[in-house]
Amino acid sequence: MAATLEPVRDPVYTTWELPTFSMEERERRWGRVRDLMRRDGIDCIVGLNSTGTHNRNQADVRYLTQIGNNCEEVAVCFPIDGKVTAITNRGGYWPSGDWIGETMRSGRAWSASLVQCLKEAGMDRATVGVCGLTHSLYCCVRQPDGYAGYTAVTRMKDALPNARFVSASDLMGETRFVKSPEEIEFLRRGTQIAERACHAMLQTARVGVFEPLIMANMYQAEIAAGGSMPVMFGWVSGPLGRAYHRIEQPTHRLVESGDYLTVEIEGRWGGYTAQIDQSVTIGEVPSWAPEAHKAAAQCFWDIVGTLRPGATSGELQQAARRVNVNGKAEGFLTLHGRGLGDDGPLITNQSQPEIANLPLQEGNVFIVKPSVRYNGMSEVGHVGDSVAVTATGVQRLGTRPIDQYWHVD
């Protein structure tokens, strides 16, 4: 390997604490959410406990409370005015700064706890927005049915028959679409943690190595750097040009000469999920392997060069198609939001019509991870990084050399 990756410094905390946002960040978020509630005629937002899809279903609740670092179940009652109540399975104080103070204990009776909060807040005839009730362009982008539990929502409706229950997905997705400087800094730290795992992958992957050992060292690197759990590794391995399909836990195979390994590597800091994508070839591989990687890097830079406030998915799709190495390479766009959860929009070459003209905004953060087909073969070159849209263009949150072709013996 011709280059090295510098590991991030391990965090040092002296008390029972976790990465937290400032009170100024809380006021910014709560003020923005309440402005949109007034616009949309919503009197209260409730978020149910849901740790599904790698804990992404807790995104809206965590956005409002910053509680839930390691898959803790949390619910929230967020009225347009008055006290915000976080509900946890144990109650008491959690390491979340001064945002909430003491939390309400659920005793596992989540919907009953929310009903109690709604009644105490005078919401018997109110319009109540439920997080994750439906799909949205900006959140729940991979969940067309939403994620709010049917039984819990039904119980709330039965307990407050004169209230109107609507989806809060559009509102919360719109709120989380643009990240603040504090959020972008958390995502930058998440990217550094992902690069720590990437470093471990490149140090471990060798001919004859047990594949699960590679992932184990990647997990160890992220946890040791103070990263939040869980993290997702999208794992593709096998002979270069004939790799097996993507999985999230490696099979019990030994790495062989001629193999290709490419991994979507999440890194989380304080729950904020960044992502990088990195590939490496191993042992005896065809002479065209570096050129395939070069095409992937070129496709990445063509897309990044197009990212700016006001750019549309149509422009990004055109940028992805520019790559052409002697007529051998085709580029395909994949780009989606990064943040606390299943952030959108999800932009690919097959994006929905309603996304086609959606303009990007300053403060958006995405993972840019295009794919290329080289000489008709897929999964032969892949690279990706988290980026933030700035007033004048885009800023990479990662620091590793994107153009570097990684190969180990």
User: Please, what are the domains in the chain?
Assistant: 23-177 (3.40.350.10), 181-408 (3.90.230.10)
Q: pLDDT per residue over 350-369, tens digit each?
A: 666 777 788 899 999 999 99
Query: What does each C-alpha distance from 35 to 29, 80, 383 come to in angstroms?
Result: 10, 9, 39
- How many CB atoms sit inside 10 A of residue 322's CB? 15
Euclidean distance between CA atoms 385 and 398, whole angstroms: 6
**238 DSSP β-pair partners:** 260
Tokens of 409: 């013996």
Per-residue model confidence (pLDDT) at position 17: 76
| Confidence band for 137, pLDDT divided at 50, 70 and 90 | confident
Collapsing DSSP states into helix, strand and coil, what is residue 349? coil
Enumerate the H helices of 208-308 as residue ranges: 211-224, 289-304
Q: pLDDT per residue over 195-219, tens digit each?
A: 999 999 999 999 999 999 999 999 9
Checking DSSP bridges between strand 104-105 and strand 394-396, what pairing results, if any?
unpaired
Checking DSSP bridges between strand 259-269 and strand 272-282, what pairing results, if any?
antiparallel
| Confidence band for 182, pLDDT divided at 50, 70 and 90 | very high
* Range from 192-196, 318-322, 344-348 that averages highest in pLDDT: 192-196
Q: Could you tell me where the beta strands, DSSP code E, fall in 124-271?
A: 127-130, 164-167, 233-239, 259-269
DSSP 8-state assignment for residue 8: P
| Confidence band for 326, pLDDT divided at 50, 70 and 90 | confident
Euclidean distance between CA atoms 127 and 129, whole angstroms: 7
Per-residue model confidence (pLDDT) at position 6: 54
Q: pLDDT per residue over 226-278, tens digit each?
A: 999 899 999 999 999 999 999 999 999 999 999 999 999 999 999 999 999 99
Q: Is the pLDDT of residue 322 over 90?
A: yes
Q: Is the pLDDT of residue 1 over 50?
A: no
